[in-house]
Amino acid sequence: MQAETPRPDSAVGSPLSLSAHRIAVLIPCYNEEVTIAGVVRDMRTALPDAAIYVYDNNSTDRTVELARAAGAITRRERLQGKGHVIRRMFADIEADFYVLIDGDGTYEAQAAPKMVRLALENGHDTVMGVRIHEEAAAYRPGHVLGNKVLTGLVVNLFGRGQSDMLSGYRVFSRRFVKSFPALSAGFETETEFTVHTLQLNMSMGEVATRYIERPEGSFSKLNTYRDGFRILGTIVNLLKQERPFLFFGMIGVVLAVIGMLVGMRSVLDFVETHSVPHLPSAVLAMGLELLAALSLVCGLILNSVTLGRQENKRLAYLALQAPPCLDA
């Protein structure tokens, strides 16, 4: 199912009460003492009936103290990396809807009720907060370009995608959270969210939300190049796992083409002289063609294995209760 186009605030703002549903706000944090108290207070105002959890990831400042003072439930995850924190939060917390937001104060809390309402009105398993930035400093050009490239890559590899794949502001249903394998360790976990959604053909929506510049004294933990390459590696690894025939088929085609180019000279020599004077080239070409055939066979076998895995994941997903949905 295609993601819904981000809609203006007025289109989502129904008078629907959210108090009948258990909502958990999940805030992973690492050294966010400058912003965390404000984020907790803003989320409490936006979702007054929600339980707000701050999971600290080995902060060396007053993040935990300030989060607790602001009214959050604080817990710790010792394994360093956002992916480890996500895994722990999803395992520990029970709710009907989960609102995931970063603790850096760059997302507007007022969008949270709109995102939850959209999920409730349409039975979505996930709703993404699509970042709309007005200040150049809020979203660095390198990050904008990287997000567009990686999002486009996922769309081309998996057939469809989301407008802002690397957004850290999302709403999940319980069915999504409890079926999500959470294998990543760091910021590449957002890529896992997207691919998990696409592989299981989950219902998803989007809400436009303002992206705000970090306040003075607050610093991003995201490294443009290091984490960009890690996310790219995650996409390649997920392609190998989820679409092995495409992955190994591309490798096989490349090897076959190189083999033909290398062996062409030997073939022409044999046609002209009925001998193979350049034996090493002939042997190399034969080896490359054998590797190409082996790669294609591996892709076919692993494709059958992946189909079985996807069926099991789908059955595990369907075994969980569907998200609440209003009558049309």
Residues 253 and 224 in one domain: no
Residues 248 and 152 in one domain: no
Residues 204 and 145 in one domain: yes
Write out the residue range of the structural domain in which residue 286 sits: 244-318
Residues 312 and 169 in one domain: no
Would you say 9 and 118 are in contact if contact means Cβ atoms under 8 Å apart?
no
Residues 273 and 138 in one domain: no
The domain boundary, picked from 241, 275, 295, lies at 241
Q: What are the phi and psi torsion angles at 172 (to 5°)?
A: -125, 150
Q: Which residues pair with 52 in a beta bridge?
A: 25
CA torsion 240→241→243→249, rounded to 10°? 40
Residues 237 and 248 in one domain: no
Residues 130 and 39 in one domain: yes
Would you say 128 and 164 are in contact if contact means Cβ atoms under 8 Å apart?
yes
The domain boundary, picked from 215, 241, 267, lies at 241
Token readout for 70 is 């602001």
Q: Is 22 among the domain residues? A: yes
Residue 8, judged by CB atoms within 10 A of its CB (0-12, 13-18, 19+), counts as: exposed
Answering whether pTM is above 0.85, one says no
Q: Which pLDDT score, from 0 to 100, does residue 143 have?
A: 58
Element (H, E) at 210: strand 204-211
Residues 55 and 110 in one domain: yes
List b or e across 123-146, with b for residues whose CB sees 16 or more CB atoms inside 10 angstroms: ebbbbbbbbebeeeebbeeebeeb
Q: Is 327 among the domain residues? A: no
Digitized pLDDT (tens) for each residue of the chain, 328 residues in all: 444 444 444 334 443 567 778 999 999 999 999 999 999 999 999 999 999 999 999 999 999 999 999 999 999 999 999 999 999 999 999 999 999 999 988 899 999 999 999 999 898 999 999 988 655 444 555 556 666 777 777 777 766 666 788 888 999 999 999 999 888 787 778 888 888 888 888 889 999 998 887 666 555 556 666 666 777 777 787 778 778 898 999 999 999 999 999 888 888 877 788 777 878 888 999 999 999 999 999 999 999 998 888 888 888 888 888 877 665 4
Residues 301 and 250 in one domain: yes
Q: What are the phi and psi torsion angles at 132 (to 5°)?
A: -115, 110
The domain boundary, picked from 199, 222, 241, lies at 241
Q: Is 328 among the domain residues? A: no
Would you say 124 and 96 are in contact if contact means Cβ atoms under 8 Å apart?
no
Distance CA 200, CA 196 (A): 6
Distance CA 33, CA 131 (A): 23
CA distance to 26, 30, 76, 84, 163, per residue, from 227 (Å): 22, 16, 23, 15, 20
What is the count of structural domains for the chain? Answer: 2
